[in-house]
Chain A
């Protein structure tokens, strides 16, 4: 079938501002939107720039706005988005070219929450023990692929780029609630600041945007409660 792709293009070497351009692509209804982007790049206009790698929703490269909604192009089927598909770069990040945005501020915020296990006890010879129940407490937030769909769907983030954003909080949550970790207090201090969790107004855009179906807003609320009541 033939679909029309309306793609927001921006070439920093030529354009002053982004322009919407239309392309036709031959695809199957069960193809991914990424397949349609590939069709355009490979057969219509080689200059189109976007990121992609695994093509099945794990690497987190190809989050874009599809018909107004943050989605992974490789996890969205043509049959689910209709015959005219509008594709734009993620909102809130600087556009570098076409659908490619600047991820550096995103990773900076990720790094700011100490996203790694901190445990200063001597390492045992074998594994540290953890009950299945304790393991379950942070299971949801281990699924994050750092695609930025959540952070770039958040109106608070659009207005305050200093806000650490849902994704960084998800990654802090993953350690705050890990029974093997010893630095929950430090992370809670970081998130208990002006740019931390209190910026969140529970709008739920992040939860809806997450391609991994992480309950992002719930994770943020868990962190807020941990700050207030010390439940970690």
Chain B
């Protein structure tokens, strides 16, 4: 079926919905999502959105920018970071005006709490910068934005799974989607397309990510020859519930929680003497791995404890109610009385589809844009997170760049006409679906996915070496080969979720390839990319962004310089 909209937004999380709101009244906008909008993963964000409101203590956007640059291990582009931290303040007020029920101070202002890596006066001490709504800030953001979309009559296509991008003569002119309820293919013809599809954490075994996070919006343009930036940087959040990976917000440490090893020591005092348990996530995740490796995990196992017991039940129940519920439900323990077993969990892709600050997708490392194509949120890479994202900055990212993308899309829609569609735009997707449905091979998508997740966890997670990356690269070659023989038993057209899971696995495999090849090439340690065989950061050779391209002769890598404005790279100490 054929549809036409000025602006098609793929993904109904915080970035997509924010862009949709910005476009309302300025262009005919439609949101296409493989989930019902309120199921999007933004809803699981907990601890808050960072902005220098100064409601609790003195703060400034410049301090926020410095913390973000330092947190990124100097790989973030400083012009984009300065803009984001400045815009963050208005973005939070925007959300409040839309109705977001923030927690409040005694004076009725938006309340703020401490968070990892956020400091006052360029690293002196932790600062209260995270604006929060209990520990369900993401839920409130998602609900509020969806409510506003209803108010503005945004056109939604729910449970439409986008599988391809339509490009004609170097211009983006739409997407192809598979309707889950009917199995029908839909061509969305558009002047502008925004990808806001979130992350790809499902390539790892232990992850905080939803089942839906299979990196579709990164893999689709990558398969169409567009680059992916800095994919080797994948964040492991230090406090996932042991074995399950469910997130326990950094806000728990912002409220005063501490990490203890198997000997009961507050080990972060050794690794980050100034801000201790509020060091950035890459630092803490590495510290936990090292404690475990040196035999100081709890009971000799691969986890440590997050201790909240000294906070008292009032703080825990009112400021951290959701995580308290998770711990009671999934671990059967009460965090008021018992410390929580935690381990690092795959959480966030710093890399993604390269864009400029207006969300326009870069077609190459030289900075040329692909007209009509935009990306925002986790699937994009502006880059504001560089080698390691600070907590709260993902919500800042989706609000600031979702809005800026929407604004620029409106401009583009007003200035341009529809580009004609190429011949048979659905062809490639139709072929792949038929291939999967008719395949008589004996491979199971679930088995390949399980192996992928286990091997990525073992070889390409917090610590990496040339050996481990070589191992996983060879394994991926095997899995890619076996993927060609994946059999889908469900031949039906109505809600064929097995078919879509198999399709998504193909995306994950391509992205894992991209991550591993980018990581093998980067012979230094920076932020979340820690090479044990190259333990030092190397600014002389590696202060640059990776651009990876999928080509017929394998993955090609190119590089783009980092933009530095006022913060000269320095040693990163906390």
Q: Which residues of A contact B (CB under 8 A)?
A: 11-13, 30, 32, 41-43, 45-47, 49-61, 75, 77, 96-98, 100, 103, 107, 111, 115-117, 119, 123, 125-132, 135, 138-139, 142-146, 174-175, 178, 180-181, 213
Decide yes or no: A132 and B106 within 8 Å by CB, A53-B212, A59-B43, A117-B147 being known contacts.
yes
A116 near B329 with CB under 8 A, answer: no
A41 near B498 with CB under 8 A, answer: yes
Instruction: Chain B residues near A51: list those with CB within 8 A.
Output: 39
B103 near A56 with CB under 8 A, answer: no
Instruction: Chain B residues near A52: list those with CB within 8 A.
Output: 211
Does any Cβ of A come within 8 Å of B38's Cβ? Answer: yes
Residue of B nearest to A115 (CB): B147
Decide yes or no: A97 and B446 within 8 Å by CB, A59-B39, A77-B330 being known contacts.
no
Q: Which of A13, A43, A45, A56 has the most CB of B within 10 A?
A: A56
Least CB distance, B113 to chain A, in whole angstroms: 14
Other-chain residue from A43, A49, A50, A146 in contact with B446 (beta carbon distance below 8 A): A43
Return 15 A-B CB contacts under 8 Å, by A number.
Answer: A13-B492, A41-B446, A53-B35, A56-B44, A59-B39, A96-B494, A97-B492, A119-B99, A127-B102, A128-B97, A129-B107, A130-B104, A130-B108, A143-B139, A146-B38
Residue of A nearest to B107 (CB): A129
Other-chain residue from A103, A126, A131 in contact with B36 (beta carbon distance below 8 A): A103
Instruction: Chain A residues near B36: list those with CB within 8 A.
Output: 61, 103, 107
Other-chain residue from A96, A100, A132, A178 in contact with B99 (beta carbon distance below 8 A): A178
Instruction: Chain A residues near B329: list those with CB within 8 A.
Output: 57, 75, 77
A46 near B495 with CB under 8 A, answer: no
Q: Which of B97, B105, B136 has the most CB of A within 10 A?
A: B97
B495 near A131 with CB under 8 A, answer: no
Instruction: Chain B residues near A77: list those with CB within 8 A.
Output: 329-330
Decide yes or no: A96 and B101 within 8 Å by CB, A42-B446, A53-B210 being known contacts.
no
The 6 A-B pairs of least Cβ separation, nearest first, read: A117-B99, A42-B446, A129-B108, A116-B147, A46-B498, A46-B489
- How many angstroms from the CA of A95 to the CA of B181 in the assembled complex? 12
Does any Cβ of A come within 8 Å of B98's Cβ? Answer: yes
Chain B residues numbered 122-139 whose CB sits less than 8 Å from any CB in chain A: 133-134, 136, 139
Does any Cβ of A come within 8 Å of B93's Cβ? Answer: yes
- How many angstroms from the CA of A56 to the CA of B323 in the assembled complex? 10
Least CB distance, A37 to chain B, in whole angstroms: 11
Residue of B nearest to A212 (CB): B325
Instruction: Chain B residues near A53: list those with CB within 8 A.
Output: 35, 39, 41, 210-212
Q: Tell me if A's interface is mostly helix, strand, loop or mixed.
A: loop
Least CB distance, B499 to chain A, in whole angstroms: 9
Instruction: Chain A residues near B136: list those with CB within 8 A.
Output: 58, 142-143
Apart from A30-B332, A117-B147, 11 more pairs, CB < 8 Å? A53-B210, A53-B212, A57-B329, A60-B39, A103-B36, A126-B53, A127-B109, A127-B110, A135-B104, A174-B101, A180-B99
Q: Which of B97, B101, B134, B244 has the most CB of A within 10 A?
A: B101
Q: Which of B134, B326, B492 has the most CB of A within 10 A?
A: B492
B495 near A96 with CB under 8 A, answer: yes
Q: Which of A58, A129, A174 has the most CB of B within 10 A?
A: A58
Other-chain residue from B330, B446, B496 in contact with A56 (beta carbon distance below 8 A): B330
B101 near A116 with CB under 8 A, answer: no
- How many angstroms from the CA of A117 to the CA of B21 in the assembled complex? 14
Does any Cβ of A come within 8 Å of B414's Cβ? Answer: no
Residue of B nearest to A213 (CB): B325
Does any Cβ of A come within 8 Å of B275's Cβ? Answer: no
Does any Cβ of A come within 8 Å of B140's Cβ? Answer: yes
Instruction: Chain A residues near B98: list those with CB within 8 A.
Output: 117
B41 near A13 with CB under 8 A, answer: no
Does any Cβ of A come within 8 Å of B432's Cβ? Answer: no
Residue of B nearest to A138 (CB): B101
Decide yes or no: A54 and B490 within 8 Å by CB, A96-B495, A100-B495, A180-B99 being known contacts.
no
A61 near B35 with CB under 8 A, answer: yes
Interface flags for B133-159 (1: CB within 8 Å of A; 0: not) read 110100110011001101100000000
Chain B residues numbered 453-509 whose CB sits less than 8 Å from any CB in chain A: 488-490, 492-498
